[in-house]
Every structure is written in C-alpha cells, then in structure tokens.
Chains A and B, each alone.
Chain A
Amino acid sequence: SQQGEEDPQALSIQEGENATMNCSYKTSINNLQWYRQNSGRGLVHLILIRSNEREKHSGRLRVTLDTSKKSSSLLITASRAADTASYFCATAETSYDKVIFGPGTSLSVIP
C-alpha cells in the first residue's frame, strides 16, 4: 500500500479544544484529501490540498502538507460535540487514478 499511518488512532478532547491528526504516506502524490465519517455512514469530503500547496484553510479546518516528509496534518479548531467522527486522509497517486486511504483517527469530543 502506498499509504502509511495516521496518528493518533484515537483522540478524546473536551469541547472547545483543538484537535490535531497526522497522516503519513509513502509515494509521490498529486494531492491529499481529508474525509470525515460519522458512525455507520459514508465518507464526506472535507478538504483537498495539492502537492504544490503547503497549507490550506476551510472554516475551522486547517490542513498542512510537507511533501519532503511525506506527511500532512489536520487541525480542527474550537471543536464541538458534533465533530465526533472518524477522520481519514487519502492520497491520489501521480501516475494513476487510485485514491488510497489511511486507517483513520477516531475523534471523540466531550461536551
């Protein structure tokens, strides 16, 4: 698999705190995406960052990408109980159309 690991595997924080999740990958990529999955549901796209970008913001989300370290981080600021979900990073290879997912981080936000 081209995908590495996400850490932490599970994260529990209080409402209002920030949550940071990290993702590593193994090969050259075209872009990296983050998705969210509520329990028992399909995945929903959150944000995409291209390989020539270093940082991107969308609302309370901030994504960074370090292609030299083959890693990315997702920061959720001022977390809410409704942010409780699993979060996955996914990479799109440069040569093919495969989109490969990591194992995910389970986030619990305690009210």
Chain B
Amino acid sequence: NAGVTQTPKFQVLKTGQSMTLQCAQDMNHEYMSWYRQDPGMGLRLIHYSVGAGITDQGEVPNGYNVSRSTTEDFPLRLLSAAPSQTSVYFCASRRQGSTGELFFGEGSRLTVL
C-alpha cells in the first residue's frame, strides 16, 4: 500500500496564480484533512472531510477550497495564491471516528513569490 500520497512535492507560484495540491489515500479512510506547517507554529488545520461529499473548515480555511468527490481523493485548491500561503502542506487521513491515529503524507512545499 502507498498510504497517503501528495503531489507535487515542491511548487513555486507567482502571486495571484491558482493551483491544486493533490492528496490520495489507498486505505479506504473516511476522514481526510489538510494542514499547513509554518516555523514555530506547529500544524494548523485548514479543512477536513469525514466522507465523500462532506467537508468542513478548520482553523485557517481562508484562501483555500476543498472538495471530496471520492473516498480516495481530497484536493486542496488555492484560487489566488498569496505570499502568506508560502508553507509546507500536509495531508492526513484516518478511519472515521474521533479516535485513531492520523496517517500523513510526506508534504508539499509551496513558495508564493
């Protein structure tokens, strides 16, 4: 099993450009989530989903959109990138329910110029 796969691993954008960070998992996990990690601030939750067709906001949702059309995929869209969105983004999944470990991807490093 591949686990949680994120693409791309690295991306450089110009301010105002749009892009989508892809996340796919092959563990049949209902729950998927996106975090951003900035120095000294740990991981902050952007959006999460408890199943196909269901998404909700986390701590820092502004500037990001998500959708969940399948159990396997949970893409994160930046419609108009800003320098403040320069960060490392992590996708994580787990079985549904409020217990259970999160499985993380290896991260996507985004730089917005």
Q: Which residues of B contact A102 (CB under 8 A)?
A: 42
Question: A94 and B98 in contact (CB under 8 A), knowing A43-B90, A103-B42?
Answer: yes
Residue of B nearest to A93 (CB): B98
Bound CA span A2–B104, Å: 21
Contact A97 B50, beta carbon cutoff 8 Å:
yes
In the complex, which residue of chain B has the Cβ closest to the Cβ of A104?
A: B42
- B106: interface (CB < 8 Å): yes
Check if A67 is an interface residue, CB within 8 A of chain B: no
Indicate with 1 or 0, residue by residue over B87-110, a CB within 8 angstroms of chain A CB atoms. 000101000101111111111000
Q: How far is the CA of A40 from the CA of B107 in the complex (A)?
A: 8
A75-102 to B contact mask, C-beta < 8 Å, 1/0 = 0000000000000101011101111111
Q: Please, which residues of chain B bring their CB within 8 A of the CB of A43?
A: 43, 90, 92, 102, 104
B74 within 8 A of A: no
Please give the distance in Å from A89's CB to the nearest CB on chain B. 9
Contact of A98 with B101 in the complex, beta carbons under 8 Å: no
* A contacts with B: majority SS: strand
Q: Which of A41, A45, A98 contacts B106 (CB 8 A)?
A: A41
B75 an interface residue at 8 Å Cβ cutoff?
no
CB contacts (< 8 Å) of A9 on chain B: these are: 40
Check: B71 CB closer than 8 A to any chain A CB.
no
- Flag whether A1 is at the interface (Cβ < 8 A): yes
Contact of B104 with A42 in the complex, beta carbons under 8 Å: yes
Let me know if B106 and A42 touch, CB within 8 A.
yes
- Given the known interface contacts A44-B104, A100-B59, the answer about A92 and B42 at a Cβ–Cβ threshold of 8 Å is no
Q: What residues of A have a CB within 8 angstroms of the CB of B33 in the complex?
A: 99
Kindly state the separation between the CA atoms of A98 and B92 in the bound complex, as whole angstroms: 12
Option from A30, A44, A96 in Cβ contact (under 8 Å) with B99: A30
Asked if B48 and A98 sit within 8 Å, CB to CB, the answer is: yes
Which residues of chain A have a CB within 8 Å of any CB of chain B?
A: 1, 3, 6, 9, 30-31, 33, 35, 40-45, 48, 50, 88, 90, 92-94, 96-104
